[in-house]
Structure 1
Amino acid sequence: MRDKKTIISVLLLLALVAVGVWGYNEYKTKNYYKDQLTNQYQRMFYDMKDNIETVQTSLSKSLVSASEEKDVLLLSQIYQQAYFAHDKLSQLPVAHNNLAKTEKFLTQVADYSYSLIARFMKGEKLDDKERQVLFRLQDYTEQLTRELEGAHEKIAKGDLTLFKVAKGQNQEIAKSNQNILDVQMQKYEEEQMTDYPELIYDGPFSDQVMNAVPKGLPKKKVTREQAEKIALDFLRISNPSEVKLFNKGKDTGTSNIEAYTFSITPKKGDRNIIIGVSVKGGKVVWMQNPKDVKEKNISEKEALKKAEEFLSKNGYKGMEANYSTKYDDSILYNFVYEKNGVPIYTDLIKVKVALDDGEIIAADMAKYLISHVDREIPKPKISENEAKEKVRIGFNIERVRLAIIPDNGSRDMLCYEFSGQYKGYDFIVYINAMDGTQEDILRIIKDENGTLMM
């Protein structure tokens, strides 16, 4: 009996030791990954800080440069480093509502630099007004650099632990000083970025483009009740189990269109459909209808027909499928508006089709609603043959047509679209139909997942 008790005691002791060893190993593993994550965040922070310091230095140099070649080199550095800084900043564990203006600032610094490079390439020079803009950008970048220096000092002293910020331990962080980066960046935005001026230039992220009034929306505003009815009619749902309004504003996924965003449950226990209806005009801006697709029952051709029928039923006429991306259970089509055989690439609609029964599981009409207007297609000032002379020798042209593409801002450009091959690769070359300038080149990549334009 005593031996039995002894054996049990030994077994319990061994089990306790095993649990202790296991717990210690788990503790060490947890700390290892914690240290790795902390190091990763701190490396991102240091890289971002270096990127912004380079932007500030290059901006200051550009103010005293008298060489066009040096200007282009400096602007290229600013464009690249501002882009890298934005990328690193977006990955840091900081509440992004506290960084919206800083992220916008870095995006616009890169975008503005790119627009100036494009002007140099056309033989134009910087004027005094643009030099003043660079001076203001340099001033704001210098202020941002000083704030990051302060955060850097706190990291070096151990006052800032990015891991806790990343884990969202807000109560514990608030009691200590661990959210110093979050608080510091918020304070910087409130004090320094409030007076950050609008940048007026030709670029996709310029203020006049980002704040542009959508052209495809009627002016009359709709109420919440009217928007709900529009959403239900769009989805062909008559008696939903539940409808919730969980947002009203400009955060509508892919655009700055002010919209009512609803979560709609068609039947009890069914999946939720998310849909946004514009406050002005009552147009559906986007829709997501997630579902599990267990097996594929329809072809890509049948899926395309379903997407075309969806657009037609909802009043979108004259849409042409441009390219597609295939996923495991669905396929995404990009449609552009076409008038008199001329594709208008600014008027874009995306439609995603489930490959089991052809149900539309996502749609995005934002770009169409922002850009679409009844246009008159202008007459080209140069002939097709004159435009061909601007295409590289050896480029095997397979198709030519007129097309409207966006410039760096919000204006339309009428171009000749040359589709063809060069050294075995597919490309599209756009030549301005008014002055013969080469405006853009797209690489076409076709594989089993669809067709992409890059």
Structure 2
Amino acid sequence: MRSRTHRWLLWVLGAVAVLALAFGLAQYRQAQAAKTRMQNAQQRALFNLVTHIENLEAGLAKARGSSSAGQQINFLTSSWLNCQAARSDLSLAGADGVDLSGPRRFVATVGDYALVLSQKLARGETVTPEEWAELARLESGVKELAGVLSRTARAAVERPGGTRARLAGLTELAASFTGAGAAASDSLNHGFSEIDQLTQSIPAPVYDGPFSEKNLQSQALAQPGALISDERAKEIALSFLTPGESFESVSVGTAEGTIPSFLITAKRQDGTEVATTVAKQGGAVVMATDAAPRGAGAMSLDDARAKAMEFLESKGFKGLEETGWRKRGANANSVVFAYVPHTEVSGPGENIKVRLYPDTVKVEVSLDTGAIVSFDQMNYLITHGHPGRVLRAPLVSPAEARRALRPEVKVEGESPRLCVIPILPTTEVMAWEFRVRNGDDTYLVYINAMTGKEQIVLQLIEDESGAMSV
């Protein structure tokens, strides 16, 4: 009897051991699969970056070579869009010990300068020879950057030894992006270092755009608080996007950007990370991103919208209004919602609601699980409640503003919306917003509420991926 019981216990223990081994193997495979997906995405980012920078170079050259203002506007706007895409690609790129904030800033500056010139042409103004020369100088920098990027990408794939060596090069490239596994090769590290040195050496153009040197200086918070410790920043970060989750490691660094912040990086066992920046003054979360792998998006847009609003309300945001949404492609597994607050100014007989566009808050929601993928309130922290913002009643009535519109456009809606729009990071104007149609195209036209002159025109592009104004 005792022998039979003993054998039974051995069978049970053996079964438990087999199940534990199977579970551990399944967990390992899931972690490896997640790591592979992340590496593949980061590999694509480098090659997409090469494509967007090459397209940027071509767009700038065509803008300078065109004699038609309409064509120049198209090429300059296309260049700006390629810069936006390249900045997104650069957010995934990097190598151990190499800071790519310089390349990101350079690409942002080029795109911003192209947009400034395109808007100048759209207003019927003339781009000066000096401004075209400045664009040519930036184009030369883009050309050098494209060359370095191309060599860096080739370093990962053009190696002797056939397919096996090519695969090893890609694996090495992925390791340089994630910081996982073996260290990046000398050639890849050299390539990224060369990119950083190159962009740092190119002087910024002299202009007043959002990414000019003057406006890239650290900006004060609208409502700064007391300085916090790095331990307090860590507590705030870990309780923000994924409260209660355990991580394999948590590191605390600094990010001396527009808002001096602590950078808290929480790493999971599968290698994915949650990165959160917390303002050193006051302890507000500036931005947060969760890089956990996502499956196919099955959630409806309305359900995702409800998740975003629920998250914002849980963080103390009240009365925000959605201004638009955007997927990162028609089949994307997440969606980004943009929100702004509003205030009121006195008007004839009643107060007038004013939408505050500079005070943007963005929330990205996974269409797979409904989890919050990213959060960004940098602009909100800089502008909302700033003591230097003094809003007065508009001097131009809606009817007077409407007379400034082109006669052939059709105004949608009964009345325009009063809003504050950013011209530069440090400059705002109050304007009447008209949504108009001209043929098959939709535009947002902003008429200055103090002068009655057209301030800016944006084309509204709406498709299955969302709405974007350019």
Which bracket does the TM-score occupy, shorter chain normalised? 0.5 to 0.7
Answering whether residue 381 of structure 2 is matched by residue 369 of structure 1, we say yes
Q: Tell me how far apart the structure 1 counterparts of residues 429 and 418 of structure 2 sit (CA, whole Å).
A: 10
SS at match of 2:193: helix
The structure-2 alpha-carbon separation of the partners of 1:79 and 1:308, relative to structure 1 and needing over 3 Å to count, comes to: closer
1:437 CA drift (Å): 1.0
SS at match of 2:227: coil
The structure-2 alpha-carbon separation of the partners of 1:390 and 1:258, relative to structure 1 and needing over 3 Å to count, comes to: same
The structure-2 alpha-carbon separation of the partners of 1:71 and 1:139, relative to structure 1 and needing over 3 Å to count, comes to: farther
* Contact 2:102–2:199, Cα closer than 8 Å, also in 1: yes
Match of 2:359 in 1: 347
Q: Residues 257-406 of structure 1: matches in 2 within 5 Å? A: 258-263=261-266, 275-287=276-288, 300=302, 304=306, 307-308=308-309, 310-324=311-325, 333-340=337-344, 341-351=353-363, 362-374=374-386, 375-392=389-406, 393-398=408-413, 399-406=415-422
SS at match of 2:283: coil
The structure-2 alpha-carbon separation of the partners of 1:293 and 1:203, relative to structure 1 and needing over 3 Å to count, comes to: same
Equivalent in 164, 168, 175 of residue 172 of structure 2: 168
What is the TM-score normalised by the length of structure 2?
A: 0.60
1:284 CA drift (Å): 1.6
Residue 402 of structure 1 aligns with an amino acid whose one-letter code is L
* Structure 1 residues without counterparts, runs of 5 or longer: 1-37, 63-68, 172-177
After the TM superposition, which of the residue ranges 219-228 and 284-293 deviates more from structure 2?
284-293
Answering whether residue 453 of structure 2 is matched by residue 436 of structure 1, we say yes
Equivalent in 213, 216, 232 of residue 207 of structure 1: 213
1:274 CA drift (Å): 5.4
Residue 186 of structure 1 aligns with an amino acid whose one-letter code is S
Q: Tell me how far apart the structure 2 counterparts of residues 362 and 189 of structure 1 sit (CA, whole Å).
A: 26
Q: Considering only aligned residues, what root-mean-square deviation do their CA atoms show, in Å?
A: 5.7
Residue 263 of structure 1 aligns with an amino acid whose one-letter code is A
The structure-2 alpha-carbon separation of the partners of 1:225 and 1:106, relative to structure 1 and needing over 3 Å to count, comes to: closer
Answering whether residue 251 of structure 2 is matched by residue 246 of structure 1, we say yes
1:441 CA drift (Å): 2.9
1:336 CA drift (Å): 0.6
Q: Tell me how far apart the structure 2 counterparts of residues 153 and 275 of structure 1 sit (CA, whole Å).
A: 33
* Contact 1:52–1:82, Cα closer than 8 Å, also in 2: no
1:426 CA drift (Å): 6.0
1:403 CA drift (Å): 0.9
Q: Tell me how far apart the structure 1 counterparts of residues 151 and 265 of structure 2 sit (CA, whole Å).
A: 43
Q: Tell me how far apart the structure 2 counterparts of residues 53 and 329 of structure 1 sit (CA, whole Å).
A: 31
SS at match of 1:430: strand
SS at match of 2:381: helix
Q: Tell me how far apart the structure 2 counterparts of residues 167 and 226 of structure 1 sit (CA, whole Å).
A: 37
Match of 2:116 in 1: 115
1:423 CA drift (Å): 5.6
Q: Tell me how far apart the structure 1 counterparts of residues 224 and 170 of structure 2 sit (CA, whole Å).
A: 43
* Contact 2:326–2:468, Cα closer than 8 Å, also in 1: no
Equivalent in 204, 220, 224 of residue 218 of structure 1: 224
1:77 CA drift (Å): 5.0
Q: Residues 37-186 of structure 1: matches in 2 within 5 Å? A: 52=57, 55=60, 77=75, 80=78, 95=94, 97=98, 101-102=102-103, 104-122=105-123, 124-125=125-126, 130=131, 133-134=134-135, 136-137=137-138, 140=141, 165-168=169-172, 183=190, 186=193
SS at match of 2:264: strand
The structure-2 alpha-carbon separation of the partners of 1:163 and 1:133, relative to structure 1 and needing over 3 Å to count, comes to: farther
The structure-2 alpha-carbon separation of the partners of 1:372 and 1:83, relative to structure 1 and needing over 3 Å to count, comes to: same
Q: Tell me how far apart the structure 1 counterparts of residues 250 and 315 of structure 2 sit (CA, whole Å).
A: 23
Match of 1:452 in 2: 467
1:389 CA drift (Å): 1.9
* Contact 1:325–1:452, Cα closer than 8 Å, also in 2: yes
* Structure 2 residues without counterparts, runs of 5 or longer: 1-42, 176-184, 345-352
Q: Tell me how far apart the structure 2 counterparts of residues 330 and 118 of structure 1 sit (CA, whole Å).
A: 31
* Contact 1:56–1:142, Cα closer than 8 Å, also in 2: no
* Contact 1:395–1:421, Cα closer than 8 Å, also in 2: yes
* Contact 1:446–1:452, Cα closer than 8 Å, also in 2: yes
After the TM superposition, which of the residue ranges 349-358 and 119-128 deviates more from structure 2?
349-358
Match of 1:198 in 2: 204
Q: Tell me how far apart the structure 1 counterparts of residues 467 and 224 of structure 2 sit (CA, whole Å).
A: 33
Residue 207 of structure 1 aligns with an amino acid whose one-letter code is E
* Contact 2:359–2:380, Cα closer than 8 Å, also in 1: yes
Q: How many residues align?
A: 391
SS at match of 2:360: strand
Q: Tell me how far apart the structure 2 counterparts of residues 324 and 83 of structure 1 sit (CA, whole Å).
A: 17
Show CA shifts across 1:354-384 (max 9, x none): 8999876653323312332343223334321
1:261 CA drift (Å): 1.6
Show CA shifts across 1:394-435 (max 9, x none): 514313120112226552232111236566776543223234
Q: Tell me how far apart the structure 2 counterparts of residues 135 and 424 of structure 1 sit (CA, whole Å).
A: 35
After the TM superposition, which of the residue ranges 198-207 and 119-128 deviates more from structure 2?
119-128
The structure-2 alpha-carbon separation of the partners of 1:453 and 1:138, relative to structure 1 and needing over 3 Å to count, comes to: closer
The structure-2 alpha-carbon separation of the partners of 1:428 and 1:301, relative to structure 1 and needing over 3 Å to count, comes to: farther
Match of 2:6 in 1: none
Q: Tell me how far apart the structure 2 counterparts of residues 297 and 146 of structure 1 sit (CA, whole Å).
A: 42
Identity of aligned residues (%): 22
* Contact 2:222–2:385, Cα closer than 8 Å, also in 1: yes
SS at match of 1:347: coil
* Contact 1:206–1:409, Cα closer than 8 Å, also in 2: no
* Contact 1:258–1:278, Cα closer than 8 Å, also in 2: yes
Q: Tell me how far apart the structure 1 counterparts of residues 220 and 132 of structure 2 sit (CA, whole Å).
A: 31
SS at match of 1:199: coil
What is the TM-score normalised by the length of structure 1?
A: 0.62
| Structure possessing the higher radius of gyration over alpha carbons | 1
1:205 CA drift (Å): 3.5
* Contact 1:415–1:431, Cα closer than 8 Å, also in 2: yes
1:282 CA drift (Å): 0.6
Q: Tell me how far apart the structure 1 counterparts of residues 68 and 297 of structure 2 sit (CA, whole Å).
A: 58
SS at match of 1:207: coil
